[in-house]
Structure 1
Amino acid sequence: MADTPKISVYLITKNEGRHLDEVLSSVKGADEIVLVDSGSTDDTLTIAEQHDARIIHQDWLGYAKQKAFALEQCRNDWVINLDGDEVLPDGAFEQIQQRVAEDDINGIYLAHDDIFMGHSLPGHRHHRFRRVYRKSKSRWNTSLKVHEHIEVDEPLTHLPIDVKHYGYDSAHGYMDKLNKYSLLKAKQREEQGRTCNLARVLLIFPLMFIKFYIIRRMFLAGWRGFIKANIDAFHFFLTEAKLYEREYRRKRGDNVEKSER
């Protein structure tokens, strides 16, 4: 595979030791692994060193800005971006190498295989993400505080690769993440000039439950799917609730930021 373009893999981390060895083992063969860490206190850095990763410390900039910084550290034009809890399946890296060698695309969509309560969520893998792309044809939208995404110039394609994602594994851990994300999203909406809509407060939960449970087919996962669909829908409701609370407190003259500490 002498003509295969060199590929960099980049990650942003903080205390990702639980799954990091499996993550980095899944990209064996990459030309380089760039790991931008914002202050891990577990064994994240030790594991990264064992995989010959290039470790760069960067104080937390926010999700999109941190990933944009990490992307800029990559030496190669073709890159793969993974989180510290995302694992490529066996043979996937070689499949990606073969596809990018054709030199007719700028990026590749991959699907998530979300692990919840220790097992996959059947029916949910159609949700695709840009995970492989040319650095020169891509840019992170750094205006977003949460649910960041990268913009990649066409043409794009997809490969039948399901990235194992452990980030939603436990209900407790998932709720902790969504509690933080909902506040960031409420602040982001304020910065975009959007205000609380009471109709959304009333309707967002049932509508999003239908979206996740029926349209995204979480019902195929039985009670696990029912529980996760409720958690996902509650995330959207919580965003609206926090947006309402911030507006309510501000009208009453409260210190909004202090109330959220």
Structure 2
Amino acid sequence: MNSNINIKDVEERSNDNKSVHARCSLSTVRATSTPAYTMAGTVSDLASIYRAWLDCTSQGRWNDLPKYMHSTYTYNGQEFDPQTFVTLVQREANRFAGFTINVDAILIDDGAQCLSCRLYSKGRPTETIFGYEPPGQDVYFVEHHFAWFTAGKLSKTLFTLDFKSVSYQFRHPDAEYALDLLGQSPTLATKTLSRQSLEDAFGAYLGCVNDWKMKSDLARFCHSEMTHNGEKLTVD
């Protein structure tokens, strides 16, 4: 969500190219309407809790936000109690008019009680953001969140922001901007891989990158044409 705890900190981290490598079993949950809130820790419940938490922020229901949060909550390395976090998020959300959050896709690891969420939020800035003056129109923020749950409540979140696309919208307010949504991507697969095969393939892809073997091995893992952060690229 673009109601970041300290939006200036995001700008400072946007050029940090360090990456975190993780490996887990994932179940995919496509963007749908928000299910009823529950406190259990199943796949559907984790998605329900997280969607309800995002809805509270999107709809400005600040008094409801803490009930989905653990008594201690860590957000990008900073520790908060629920009420302190709510106060800071409310302050950031108030920097935008018409602020809303939408889920694009969610991946869930029920065993580890965590999920990954790609979401986009939008709002019309009412003050300077990232050093840019308000463009007088909505700006879209695309984010990727990793969230962990303790006893059925949100206890930790790590997020990254697509700062490049945000900067483009501020610098080119008259240009057309189209979201590249996973939920609208066509299915290109000609065969279905098992969960373990998907994990193995992605692990091998990361190994190819880490071992600097992309020139010789990348074509094994990527289509000849692909979309990377909204940009059409060829494997060459």
Structure number with larger C-alpha Rg: 1
Query: Which structure's residues are more often strand, by fraction?
Result: 2
Higher helix share: 1
Same fold (TM over 0.5): no
Query: What TM-score bracket applies, with the shorter chain setting the length?
Result: under 0.3
State TM-score, norm by structure 2: 0.26
